[in-house]
Amino acid sequence: MRITTWNVNSIKQRVGHLLAFLDEAKPDVVCLQELKCQEEAFPRAEIEAAGYAVEAVGQKAYNGVALLVRAPLTYDPATVLRALPGDAEDEQARYVEALVSGDGVAPVRVASIYLPNGNPVASPKYPYKLAFLERLRLHAIARMREETALVLAGDYNVIPEPEDAAEPTAWADDALYLPTTRAAFRALLAEGLTDAVRACDPRPGLYSFWDYQAAAWSRNFGIRIDHLLLSPQAADRLVSASVQKHLRGLEKPSDHVPVTVELAAG
């Protein structure tokens, strides 16, 4: 089972790139973030024509997440969670989760997550980011008690370690790299989750995001903020992890690239 996470930075602008990627890579499950559209505007017909079932949570102009599941795999609609538990007043479209399975493939619970950016730090956006991370930690604990393989995939807006940035000092005061942010991410990992990319490749220089400004792409001034975190049951099935860096070189690309893990059937 190949599971990909990709912040597309506007699905309407990037649907052509997405369809080409689906045809090229044929991932079994795709976790999309930053759709920037309401559900009725999501290009469901085109994606379903490519062989994928769609579960999307939209929001006008901002946020938005989706799960795409390629036949013959399926997901059980009764298992779909369209918001992260822990704050009934949170209306931002940042979380969708479902249980995916198929003939000969052990079930995997997959979540697509768009974690808050948190900037500016002196605004309410940063406490919201930390609260979201804590809610995610508590939800992960609850899910892992079920002992079903769990993959928490998405744009975390967290640079975990210095080697995850081309120039760490440039991010010293940013919400993505503050010590409090990184500590909250480590607390999430400490519950028993595995960072799939780092489990497969500990080398520095693996990035998933390059800003549109300051020639970041041509200078390889990147950061790694798109992560797939695996429960012990999912980590036991981990075969490989990879970053599809070449897609950043497309015309009018997203500033993020896909990150993919492959799990054994189980």
State the residue range of the domain holding 248: 2-263
Model confidence at 266, in pLDDT bands (50, 70, 90)?
confident
The pLDDT tens digits of the residues spanning 114-146 come to 999 999 999 999 999 999 999 999 999 999 999
Predicted local confidence at residue 87, as pLDDT: 98
Residue range 70-76: mean pLDDT, rounded: 96
Residue range 234-258: mean pLDDT, rounded: 98
As a whole number of angstroms, the longest Cα–Cα distance in the chain is 50
Report the predicted TM-score, pTM, of the whole model to 2 decimal places.
0.98
Instruction: Work out the burial of residue 153: count CB atoms within 10 Å of its CB; fewer than 13 is exposed, 13-18 middle, 19 or more buried.
Output: buried
Query: In this structure, what CATH number is given to the domain that contains residue 175?
Result: 3.60.10.10
Give me the torsion for CA of 149, 140, 130, 10, rounded to 10°.
40
| Mean pLDDT value across the chain | 98
Residue range 92-106: mean pLDDT, rounded: 97
CA–CA distance, 20 with 254 (Å, rounded to integer): 14
pLDDT over 90 (residue 219): yes
Residues in contact with 176: Cβ distance below 8 Å, sequence separation at least 6, in sequence order? 117, 118, 119, 157, 158, 159, 223, 225
Predicted local confidence at residue 207, as pLDDT: 98
Q: How many domains does the chain have?
A: 1
Q: Tokens at residue 257, please?
A: 């690239």
Sequence-ordered alpha helix ranges (H) in 91-240: 125-144, 179-190, 196-200, 232-235
Predicted local confidence at residue 151, as pLDDT: 98
Model confidence at 230, in pLDDT bands (50, 70, 90)?
very high
Share of the chain above pLDDT 70, in %: 100
Residue range 56-84: mean pLDDT, rounded: 97
